[in-house]
Structure 1
Amino acid sequence: MNFRTPAVRLGMLPAGIALALSPSFASAQEAAAGTTDLDRISVTGSRIRAANVETQQPILTLSRESLEKQGFSSVADVLNNLTSAGSPAISRSESLASGENVGGYYVDIRNLGAERTLVLMNGKRLGATTSGLQDLSQIPMGAVERIEVLKDGASAIYGSDAIAAVVNVITRKNVEGGEATAYFGQYGEGDGNTEQYSMTLGATGERGSLTLSAEYNKADPVFAKDRWYSKDGSRGPNSTPATWSALSQNGSWCNPTVYDCESASAVWQTLNAGGNPNNPADYHPLTQGEWSNANQQMTALTGVERKSVYINGTYDFTDSISLNSDLLYNERNTFQQIAGYPYQSQAFGTPLSADSAFNPLGQDIDFRRRLWEVPRTTESQLKTTRFAPTISGFFDFAGKTFDWDVGALWNRNESIVTQRGDASLIATEQALGPSFINSAGVATCGTAADPIVGDCRPWNPLLPNGVAGQGSLADPALQEFLFPTFTTRGETKTTSFTANLAGSIVTMPAGDLGFAVGVEHRKEEGSYVPDAFAQSGMSTGLGQKPTRGEYDLNEAYLELNVPILSDMPFAKELSLNMATRYSDYSNFGDTLNSKFGVTWRPLDELLVRGTYAEGFRAPTISDLYGGLSSSFERYIDPCGVGAPGSVAGNAACTAAGVPANYVQLGQGNQPCATLPCATNDQFISGANPNLSPETSKSTTAGLVWSPRWVQGLDISLDWYKYEISDMIIADSVDRILRDCYVLGDSSRCASVVRAPAGNITALTYGTANLGKVETQGYDLGVKYRLPEMAIGNFSIDWQTSYLSSYDEEGQNSAGDTITIGQVGTTGLFRVRSNATVGWTKGDFGVNWTARYYSGMAEDCIDIGCTDPDRYQNGEAAPIRKTGSNTFHDLQVSYTAPWDATIAVGANNVFDHRGALQYSAPNSAFAYYGGFDVGRFLYMKYTQRF
């Protein structure tokens, strides 16, 4: 919220002075440092325009000055390094991720999911994907004035999605002059080159202003083969290449005259070095040393390139009516790569034909081969166009001043995803079918009597990678035939219209009774249309169906701020804040959510606050109208011998045809070396049009203390608790298998399809309101600016988040509902703490930051379990614990006489390495996706003019 004062705005001027002087407003005061626009106040979390409202809630403010002292080049990187931030929703380390959200930058406060943190830009929603994720890469770093993070539920103020927190990114306005910045960085290994150029220009006049900010950012990908934790694949305690694939890039085949090629005991053989691929005697059994290491072709960090232009304009029509308008265009391109597809002819019914010129046996044979020559690449492009005008003003009535505004938002996101590396099954069937060597000695599709005329190229899948010959996958013409380019297009639109009125109803003995009332109409539209090949299932890629839908809503809210006591002994201030919001959705109906807050200041230097809030998250377009998609899931089959909680041989498993001695099979139909294990076949998941909203309750209580006897010291401590019910989650594979085979619920078995050997070949599942989470913890903030000394000025900023509980609802093997404690598991750190020490003297400055993460524990079966005999809720629950990690950052800066700032620095200056995490949390590799992947060195030059 903002307003411009004409001649006086008498009611707000004293409040503005109080805001600047009150110690409890330290963060807001820092945010305003260096700006000349003293006549505007922004309050995140409230619609009431009064200075004392902000103290009622736990708000963290990151000023532009503090952002410049960090070595991060994106808004998302800054936010994900907050101690209250959870694991990144889709980190740059998740190169195996697919779908509409890939390539985006998201923030997840309190580990409650990025879709439950509402992101605003100047108080208005960012555009979202069809699954409700808001991409922070839409916001250029150079345009940011400050970031305010409300760590509390606020659905009563902002509506859906404001369950865990609200992030409000406030951009620069009323800039006079210009500023240009160049940023360069790279990892100590010499990769991941990052460059960023930004320029901001502004001019102000008697009645208006115009600010333009343009930015270009590019971060090159980092490849897994260049990092210690990923180059050799995930390895267990006995150096077993647990994630290496038995599908070798050298190709292998099974002799059906000797073996049952569907069985795990079948022998697969590969060509001898220098051997004749048409001679069956020139092959030997494939050994583990010849398996493929997929990590050698994968990106460890995706590459990203961003271009953006942001324009803000203001104009005062009169002394009491103003226009503020934002226009943003952003284009983001990301690149990720994974290894060539692990092709298995059995999975697609495409054996090497007995009539192929490359068949060594003279009858149809099944083969396996990693399509190494053509890695799978994905380039995701997102174009964002945003226009957000607001007309605001004020008027006097009955001796009171009232503020009003009417605004609109049009946000359009257009995505284009281009993929290559998945083979066309139509083409592979032809390339593996009959072929012959023609009179010119060239392999040709078809038969000599009936050759195939066209683009068909015969393929010899038994010819190893790097070995030349006809039918080699290295042939560009064959690659062109087998590997089409797939294009998926998506579009989301957000349209909203708002009207707000705020002011004072009456003056009470303790102050003005403030109010805010408003209405909003919003419409969300979205589509995500996969390539025709993906829809048809005629490629080796994961199958997908289109997502398309829309909904609209009307909302009205009322907020009151009631002063009860003021300037009394042990009650310098006592006030209540109340808000309620009614929302009527076209898809599921209506909902009412309220919030209550109390502020008590017993002493000038001590503030006590508390809030209680109801919240909700409406089902998204993808939740309701998403098309079917396929994936290779990791799960534990309870019918398998040796599985945790195994029920091998029971009636349900026997009825499904599972042998009593069945061992779960994974990729290549090989027995799983570790559990959970990835399926060998694609499973199908989809949407649910009958979903209802998620609901939440959040409670906070805290204090802010600024002792008079220690000038410059501010201490805040806040406790929080969240309860989320009816969470929209995917009905997991493990949940279905347990219900079916352990609990004996036959209705849950219908979608499970098994092969005669017992392995699951197909499974279909969807989303449901099944989840429930409760979490609570504490946030401690200490800021201290030491008295000025001869050696310079020192400041300390220490922020710590302590997670006391994070409980999910689940079931044990008996079917009882149990609470599963997750604190300390991967990504859910017991403690996260950032401590920054700053020093300045004259034109020089140094900032040192230590980022601490407490230890983690992950589920394990036989990979380095530190507590193999652990039990939880009466069941075996072995875990592997790893220690804590601290990353150190350093920046040294110099302010030059020609009005420039030069900074050099390093993130993770000591090149600290976290412990391996074999469960690959938030990553495609055995390393936590939120950790630094090396020492990152950078330099930054800023010129003001």
Structure 2
Amino acid sequence: MKLRIRTISWAVQTALAAGLVGVPATAVFAQPERGDDAQRLEAIQVTGSRIKKAEIEGQTPVQVISAADIAATGLGSIGDVIQRLSVSGSSLNTKFNSAGNFGFSPDGSGVGSGSTTVSLRNLGAKRTLILVDGLRWVGESSASGVSAAVDLNTIPASAVDRIEILTDGASSLYGSDAIAGVVNIITKKKQDGGSARLYYGDYSTGDGQTQQANVSLGGSGERHDFFLDVSHYDQHRISSNDWEQSRYPTPGIGGAVNPATWSSATPNGRQVFAPADPTETFGGLCPVDGGASFCNLSGDGAGGFRPWTNAERFNFSPYNLLLTPSKRTSFFGQGTYRITDHVNWNIKGTYTKRESVNQAAPEPIFLGSEAGSGGLADFVGIDASNPYNPFGTISPEGSFITRRPVEGGPRIFTQDVDTSYFTTGLNGDFSAGDRQFFWDVNYVTGENRATQNVRGTYNIAHIQRALGPVADCTAPCVPLNIFGGPGSITQDMLDYILFNEVDRSKQKVTTWTANISGDLIEMPAGALAFASGYEHRKQSGSYTPDSVVTAGESNGVPSGPTSGDYSVNEFYVELNAPLVADASFAKHLDLSVASRYSDYSNFGSTTNSKIGLRWQLNDDLTLRGTWAEGFRAPSIGELYGTFARFDAQIQDPCNGATGQQGANCEALGVPNPATFEQANAQISVVTGGNSNLKPETSKSLTLGAVYSPSWGENTSWSQKLDFEVTYYNIKIKDAIQASDAQTQLRRCVDTLDPIFCDGISRSSGGNINGFDNTLFNLGKINTKGVDLGISWLGNETGIGTFGASFSATRVSSYEAIATDSGLTEPRVVGVEVNDSAIPDWRATARLNWSIGDVNVSWTARYTSDLNESCGGEDGFRDLALCSDPNAGAVSSTGPSGLNHLGSTTFHDLRASWKLPTELDLTIAGGINNITDKEPPICGSCSLNGYDASTYDLPGRFSYVEASIKF
């Protein structure tokens, strides 16, 4: 059997020479061993198979991104690079100003402030397995929960040699979490001498300067290789006030007040309370209209009061951030020592320190049962003896009292995250008869520790005391003036009610692995190859909120402590059998099977298998297909996460409800639905883990073809031409997530079905004051689509060498179906919802030109159009952004009325030049989004008027860099 060496070599040469970021590459060129004949290929292992051998071309759909590709993007985070690929979906990044604005997610993972994660196939970061050199990395921790995802900012980009992305189910080989695929980050093992790199970039919108620097050193000897790297990354903030569309809660409408999105918590305050006596006028300060049970007033800062109108609402947007600041310093080192010709010892260690910041508007205070905060604040009233209370005793029952103390300044969330990772092991080979076998044993320990310091948050127990009987407010208590308007809260008052919140979290992973692979027997078409191994893994995590938060005395988003651990023992086996070789209908026909048995300490055992077929018809065309079972164990946060709160932007369907809907609202406890208006659009939703969760399971089918035509190889117009197409179909059962809160509320009002209404409660005034949204095995998720890839490398000519590539993904369907109701959740293809989207198409095209030591590339990144709801309770009510208010629903679960988000294309330009000097010096520069394309305006997005998980920041990003080798 003759290996087609040319194809493997050219697949990588094409990617490296043309710098084709994100183009599917299904083979890796194996370097010859020392002293071996130059034509001998070293047995290597590629992501998607545990078998070490040379004949690995086209086994699995793997995309390869080289270090040069990463540098060519002008981005400093490998997570940001992967998020640009067409196979990636919406996921967290540093454009999300998360803390203080979204609250806690239902899965116990926390806010994730400052993290960058990756979601393959739009299935979420927790269903994408992250490996580093084939071994698991430690989960992320941002001092707000225990996440099931990995923060790719903890892995220094300057230490990365390449990234292999497997877009196929791989639980049979790698265990839990590999439902959507695997990202395997291969680090640099050696380097000849030293190198240094300096980088500076800046946005045209606001501040946002980014500086990077790294110094590395490497070497090789007869018995050793080593690589050391020190890097620093510093990204500055951009204020939301620096972009016109993010200066107001609803973009595109200038300074006009939007009642649905501006805050009812104002510096002047707002009071809605029920008099105990219907004739009570509160000393004439609060005239009761016709004996109504509520009175709406706003302080004007001068001791008088006026009726509340929407013009009083507060614009919180300028306090937010478009880009969050982040500093990262990393130390990386690894080495290999050849103990004998057949045994190697390797060691690797890395440490990354991250400092990041989120910011939010001054924290509002909501008091009384109608505020629905869900904690102590619901039971806080104001005593008549409070020296600043002109009304008399105000009971918390039936009251809605707010004040935004701007005197205390904005909320500042500062994260300090330390990530350490150490691995060591032995690997080698041995012979038995005429067969060669490869083995390795590894030990891994990784830990992520995070501390979050919150400034600008309040102690609600101190507020309660400061508003209560003045006789009980003795030093250090200072009576609080909540009615006086801006400036009425003195520094002494602030000193008493403010507190410095300190939250902590930790994750740790410890792993032992042992693997062996080689050829078992010779078959007519070649050798039957195998791989087998064992893995023991222990994972633990904890989240410890501040003692004030734990006691329920924080005015901010409440949460409880989380702690848990589990261990797993796993065994796997993989076989690759050549069925046919050098036949008229098949140059090669190979069958691969794999199975993995996992025994968990907390829920039992599972076995997951995979079968694959690779059919190389001839030198040009290879067909392949796999069927795989997938598996994801519930994470520590999902299992053991305790009470936390998510402040969701929800529109109550009972606002002004009439007809049957009005009758249903009245049955739910809303008085006079036709005139009802919810007091606050931000509803407190209670989240939490569920110890009864079952693992997720999946089945996936992947079919593909790789075509490398001989008519496009070494011709007058082409060195190499490759085409690739992959079809995928993934079905997940027992998917772990919480119902979409807005959808659940609407279904409750529409049907009064306990399936939807259980856990939702209302106050006597009709406002929602309880909303349980805990996790469960929701049901199933089904998605399918197609990946396309083309790459071409031209011949060297008198005007240089040209290359081109194109990669695209079309998601043909995506649906999440709840088991209890059989209804579809609102996240579907082509719809913007919950600050994320699944576009029909994502594509990247690239042209590259090089001549001598000059390289120039142009990249176009395309995202197809989307729709979002703008009518009904799922929309954003103010129709200034609604392109078609009379259109049908954007999904089967949504109301009528839509806003269209047009297709978007971002263009990037980069050039580099290796200077003709004795110094090995290269300078480079580029502009991302050179046409200054703005992201489409999104009215339903929670912050900043656009979807930060799908689109670039507004404005151009320009950068320059210099690198030297010595």
TM-score (norm 1): 0.89
8 A contact 1:94–1:924 mirrored in 2: no
The equivalent position to 1:52 in structure 2, one of 52, 55, 62, is 55
Compared with structure 1, are the counterparts of its residues 111 and 750 closer, same or farther at alpha carbon in structure 2 (3 Å cutoff)? closer
Alignment RMSD = 2.9
1:324 aligns with 2:324: no
1:339 aligns with 2:361: yes
Structure 2 counterpart SS, 1:649:
helix
| 1:646-661 equivalent positions in 2, closer than 5 A | 647-650=661-664, 653-659=665-671, 661=673
1:758 aligns with 2:769: no
8 A contact 1:24–1:704 mirrored in 2: no
Partner of 2:278 in structure 1? Answer: none
Separation of aligned partners in 1, 2:710 and 2:7: 17
The equivalent position to 2:886 in structure 1, one of 852, 868, 883, is 868
- State the Cα distance separating 1:799 from its structure 2 match: 0.9
8 A contact 1:810–1:820 mirrored in 2: no
1:153 aligns with 2:169: yes
The equivalent position to 1:114 in structure 2, one of 116, 119, 125, is 125
Partner of 1:556 in structure 2? Answer: 571
Partner of 2:143 in structure 1? Answer: none
Partner of 1:462 in structure 2? Answer: 483
Q: Which whole-Å deviations, capped at 9, do the CAs of 1:96-155 have from their partners, x for residues lacking one? A: 244352221100111000100101001011111433111111100100000010011100
Structure 2 counterpart SS, 1:79:
helix
Partner of 2:828 in structure 1? Answer: 822
Separation of aligned partners in 2, 1:940 and 1:763: 51
Compared with structure 1, are the counterparts of its residues 664 and 881 closer, same or farther at alpha carbon in structure 2 (3 Å cutoff)? farther
- State the Cα distance separating 1:770 from its structure 2 match: 1.3
- One-letter code of the match for 2:455? R
8 A contact 2:14–2:792 mirrored in 1: no
Structure 1, unpaired ranges of 5+: 1-10, 435-445, 671-676
1:498 aligns with 2:520: no
Structure 2 counterpart SS, 1:229:
helix
- One-letter code of the match for 1:759? N
Q: Which whole-Å deviations, capped at 9, do the CAs of 1:497-554 have from their partners, x for residues lacking one? A: 1111100011222211100011111111111111111112112111111111111111
The equivalent position to 2:641 in structure 1, one of 626, 633, 636, is 626
Partner of 1:718 in structure 2? Answer: 726
1:358 aligns with 2:388: yes
Greater CA deviation, 577-586 or 421-430?
421-430
- State the Cα distance separating 1:757 from its structure 2 match: 2.0
Structure 1 counterpart SS, 2:317:
helix
Separation of aligned partners in 2, 1:610 and 1:166: 17
- One-letter code of the match for 1:271? D
- One-letter code of the match for 1:47? R
1:370 aligns with 2:419: no
Partner of 2:956 in structure 1? Answer: 935
Q: Which whole-Å deviations, capped at 9, do the CAs of 1:780-803 have from their partners, x for residues lacking one? A: 111111222222111112111111
| 1:421-460 equivalent positions in 2, closer than 5 A | 421-433=456-468, 446=470, 452-453=474-475, 455-460=476-481
- State the Cα distance separating 1:307 from its structure 2 match: 1.0
| 1:637-652 equivalent positions in 2, closer than 5 A | 637-642=652-657, 647-650=661-664
Partner of 1:800 in structure 2? Answer: 808
- One-letter code of the match for 1:114? A
Partner of 2:374 in structure 1? Answer: none
Partner of 1:437 in structure 2? Answer: none
The equivalent position to 2:580 in structure 1, one of 565, 575, 589, is 565
Partner of 1:221 in structure 2? Answer: 237
Structure 2 counterpart SS, 1:335:
strand
1:172 aligns with 2:188: yes
Structure 2 counterpart SS, 1:72:
coil
| 1:493-892 equivalent positions in 2, closer than 5 A | 493-635=508-650, 637-642=652-657, 647-650=661-664, 653-659=665-671, 661=673, 665-666=677-678, 669=679, 677-679=681-683, 682-711=684-713, 712-734=720-742, 737=745, 742-746=750-754, 749-810=757-818, 817=823, 822-826=828-832, 827-861=837-871, 862=877, 863=879, 864-866=882-884, 868-870=886-888, 876-892=895-911
Structure 1 counterpart SS, 2:246:
coil
Separation of aligned partners in 1, 2:793 and 2:293: 67
Compared with structure 1, are the counterparts of its residues 809 and 25 closer, same or farther at alpha carbon in structure 2 (3 Å cutoff)? farther
Separation of aligned partners in 2, 1:689 and 1:101: 22
Separation of aligned partners in 2, 1:121 and 1:263: 66
Structure 2, unpaired ranges of 5+: 16-24, 35-40, 104-109, 141-145, 276-280, 372-376, 714-719, 872-876
Partner of 2:88 in structure 1? Answer: 85
Greater CA deviation, 633-642 or 226-235?
633-642
Count residues with an aligned counterpart: 890
Partner of 2:19 in structure 1? Answer: none
- State the Cα distance separating 1:288 from its structure 2 match: 3.8
- One-letter code of the match for 2:959? Y
- State the Cα distance separating 1:729 from its structure 2 match: 0.7
Q: Which whole-Å deviations, capped at 9, do the CAs of 1:732-791 have from their partners, x for residues lacking one? A: 435654665544444764533211222211122311111311111111111111222222
Separation of aligned partners in 1, 2:498 and 2:297: 26
- State the Cα distance separating 1:938 from its structure 2 match: 0.9
- State the Cα distance separating 1:866 from its structure 2 match: 1.9
1:127 aligns with 2:138: yes
Partner of 1:251 in structure 2? Answer: 269
Compared with structure 1, are the counterparts of its residues 806 and 592 closer, same or farther at alpha carbon in structure 2 (3 Å cutoff)? same
Structure 2 counterpart SS, 1:599:
strand
- One-letter code of the match for 2:321? T
Greater CA deviation, 730-739 or 875-884?
730-739
8 A contact 2:8–2:27 mirrored in 1: no
- State the Cα distance separating 1:625 from its structure 2 match: 1.0
Compared with structure 1, are the counterparts of its residues 371 and 706 closer, same or farther at alpha carbon in structure 2 (3 Å cutoff)? same
- One-letter code of the match for 1:318? T
Separation of aligned partners in 1, 2:660 and 2:583: 68
The equivalent position to 2:451 in structure 1, one of 416, 419, 429, is 416
8 A contact 2:921–2:965 mirrored in 1: yes
Compared with structure 1, are the counterparts of its residues 646 and 228 closer, same or farther at alpha carbon in structure 2 (3 Å cutoff)? farther
Compared with structure 1, are the counterparts of its residues 156 and 362 closer, same or farther at alpha carbon in structure 2 (3 Å cutoff)? closer
Partner of 2:297 in structure 1? Answer: 268
Partner of 1:5 in structure 2? Answer: none
Separation of aligned partners in 1, 2:646 and 2:478: 30
Structure 2 counterpart SS, 1:478:
helix
- One-letter code of the match for 1:387? F
Q: Which whole-Å deviations, capped at 9, do the CAs of 1:654-713 have from their partners, x for residues lacking one? A: 4443335256644xx16xxxxxx432xx33221111111101111111111111122211
What is the aligned-residue identity percentage?
A: 35
1:141 aligns with 2:143: no
- One-letter code of the match for 2:864? S
Partner of 1:909 in structure 2? Answer: 930
Separation of aligned partners in 2, 1:902 and 1:251: 56
- State the Cα distance separating 1:727 from its structure 2 match: 0.2
The equivalent position to 1:105 in structure 2, one of 116, 134, 137, is 116
Greater CA deviation, 305-314 or 745-754?
745-754
Structure 1 counterpart SS, 2:802:
strand
Structure 2 counterpart SS, 1:46:
coil
Compared with structure 1, are the counterparts of its residues 745 and 521 closer, same or farther at alpha carbon in structure 2 (3 Å cutoff)? same
Q: Which whole-Å deviations, capped at 9, do the CAs of 1:50-99 have from their partners, x for residues lacking one? A: 23335121110001121221111111110000011101135522432443
TM-score (norm 2): 0.87
- One-letter code of the match for 1:685? T
Which structure has more relative contact order (CA 8 Å, sep 6+)? It is: 2
Compared with structure 1, are the counterparts of its residues 874 and 202 closer, same or farther at alpha carbon in structure 2 (3 Å cutoff)? closer
Structure 1 counterpart SS, 2:711:
coil
- One-letter code of the match for 1:123? G
- One-letter code of the match for 1:356? N
Q: Which whole-Å deviations, capped at 9, do the CAs of 1:334-377 have from their partners, x for residues lacking one? A: 10001112213334244454333333456559742212232111
Separation of aligned partners in 1, 2:636 and 2:580: 47
